[in-house]
Amino acid sequence: MTDVPSVMVDEGYFDTTGIRIVEGRGFRATDTRDTPQVTIVNRRCVERYWPGQNVIGKRVNIRGAMPRTVEIVGVKDTTTTVVTFLMGFLILASQNRDSEAVQVKLDELLRVSPGAHNVLMNLEELEEHELERIRTVYVKLAEKARRGVEGGRSDEGVPEIGELVEKTKPVRKPR
């Protein structure tokens, strides 16, 4: 799967901005958080990642604060007007501000939670490899919990992660 940058918009975005959908479909009011996640890519993205291919139905990874895999349902025209660019910029700036506010609230919840790992605050500022190292700890923790449930044990509680952290620390070469 391919990782691509993204911006969240609603079903009226393309009509409002006058951007044409040239393949597939646009967003629908029925595309919600409770339905399979979908996306629309532009022609330039198609030419870069899937030259000569039909991309409708392909799946891509969306990175960011809420990483997820989504299905491509449409391709938009790459031609952009200054107004469209400015509208997209304003929407993105608003979303970034909202995302930052949510992140600060989550950081505060971590800060005041007894036993929470404060290293998890401000994760969005880490380099990709650092974030992946921490994510690996939690993937292993979830796998261990699932194996326990399959073995008849409870998945409740606050397991220690020190051992998992040690196993995922990068090996540093002596200088």
C-beta of residue 61 within 8 angstroms of C-beta of residue 1: yes
Amino acid identity of residue 168, one-letter, is T
Tokens of residue 72, six digits: 């491509």
pLDDT tens, residue by residue, 127-140:
888 888 888 888 88
| pLDDT computed for residue 52 by the predictor | 92
| pLDDT computed for residue 92 by the predictor | 52
pTM check: above 0.85: no
| pLDDT computed for residue 54 by the predictor | 95
**Which residue numbers in the chain have pLDDT < 50?**
82-83, 85
| pLDDT computed for residue 58 by the predictor | 93
Domain ranges of the chain: 2-80, 126-168
